[in-house]
Amino acid sequence: MAQRAAERTYGVSDELLTPGLGWSLPALRKAWNAAKEDVAPWWRECSKEAFNTGLDALARALKNWSDSRGGQRAGRTVRFPRFKSRRRTTPSVRFTTGAIRVEPDRKHVVLPRLGPLKLHESARKLARRIDNGTARIMSASVRRDGERWHVSFTVQVERADRAPARPASVVGVDVGVKHLAVLSTGEMVPNPRHLVDAQQRLRRLGRALSRRTGPDRRTGQQPSNRWRRASARLGRAHARIANLRRDGLHKLTTRLAREHGTVVVEDLNVTGMLRNRRLARHIADASLGELRRQLAYKTEWNGGQLVVADRWYPSSKTCSDCGAVKTKLALSEREYRCQECGMVLDRDLNAARNLAALATEYDPAGSGPVAGRGADRKTLPAGLVAVKRQPGPAHAGQTGTVPPQGETADRVLAEAH
């Protein structure tokens, strides 16, 4: 691209410019097959899926950059892709072809070029579905996390129609830092604060790592064995925090999706909230965006619906009893005191009840958001706002993503020993 841009400044016609390369995955594969004998004569020692995984990531990154540059992609500006560092990224590869199966003993899986791998936990649930003919393995992803190797299968299954335990039940969920979630039913789910609890241990492990002889790319110095062991201990500590956080979020979202027919949440600007230096660590530790993402596909899996309130809806400033709206409400005020009706209620519980009331304004058969009594960006004294339904699942392929529409997929995680 830089060469073609430079040639244009010299007055070279388009017909004589350096030939460009296609950005699609087939075009990148063709270019790789033509050059691999010269640039990587050892390519036969590795599985072709290792190169295909990198090419697929490159094709997606280039498309995202191009769409963002042309105004066809919403959200934050996507920069031009950069090379990944094999030292700072999570090693992963996705197998889409070849022999991918679970052995009859349920303790081994077979992957292309890698052969049989012993599992730390049993894969009997996946094997039982495959034996019954109700599931088919589409791909397998292998990644390293916290000094452990994990294999994740993307499986197409025949999922039976489900219905929530209480289809007519509506619950508003107000997420935050003090409480992970406050439900309109009055339940307050405490924030476990896994990262805060492990800060002292992380500091100790970080200091121990800094005292070891680590790698130096400028001088070519190799890390010592003690540095490698200290780095592994620090990595395992971070992996444990992530696993604890992930486990708590899955249990909470699964319970909400199975019990209630309608779940109402807020459209929070988490990226903007992270700019607050005093609360950024606590907001990131709570994983507010991940909680909403899990609710999006789990409510659809269980036959419910997810209603997302407008970002500018004043759920905390509105009285859930009389509907009066305060002009200002400081973050330090943990109780909502209505000047109109005199109601005194916890501010998070008050916001959750206001979110639950939005379900009455939601029209699932409509073509767009409901035109309610809405609030604008200035938070004018008004009532309910327009709401929208969270779009359904769009793709599968990464761990934790949702299956494509029209087909259902389950993710079966097995830890390779």
**3-class DSSP state of 273:** helix
Residue 19, pLDDT > 50, answer yes
Q: What is the CB-side half-sphere exposure of residue 388 using CA atoms within 13 A?
A: 11
pLDDT digits over 178-187, tens only?
A: 899 999 998 9
Residues forming the active site: 174, 266, 348
Distance (Å, whole) CA 334 – CA 331: 7
The confidence band for 16, taking pLDDT boundaries of 50, 70 and 90, is confident
pLDDT of residue 362: 60
Tokens of 92: 């992963």
- Count of Cβ atoms closer than 10 Å to residue 304 Cβ: 23
Per-domain boundaries in the chain: 2-69, 95-158+394-417
CA angle 188–167–174, rounded 5-degree value: 25
Judge residue 237's burial from the number of C-beta atoms within 10 Å of its C-beta, 0-12 exposed, 13-18 middle, 19 or more buried.
middle
pLDDT digits over 277-308, tens only?
A: 888 999 999 999 999 999 999 999 999 999 99
Q: How far is CA 173 from CA 76, 115, 127, 266, 309, in A?
A: 26, 46, 37, 8, 11
pLDDT digits over 70-97, tens only?
A: 999 887 899 999 888 877 788 899 999 8
Chain center to CA of 220: 37
Residue reference for tokens 């309910």: 384
The DSSP line for 71-85 is T-S-SSPPPPP-PPP
**3-class DSSP state of 92:** strand
Average pLDDT rounded to a whole number, residues 201-221: 93
Average pLDDT rounded to a whole number, residues 117-138: 91
Contact 158, 134 (CB under 8 A): yes
**3-class DSSP state of 13:** coil
Output the average pLDDT for the chain. 83
Lowest mean pLDDT among 190-194, 237-241, 391-395: 391-395
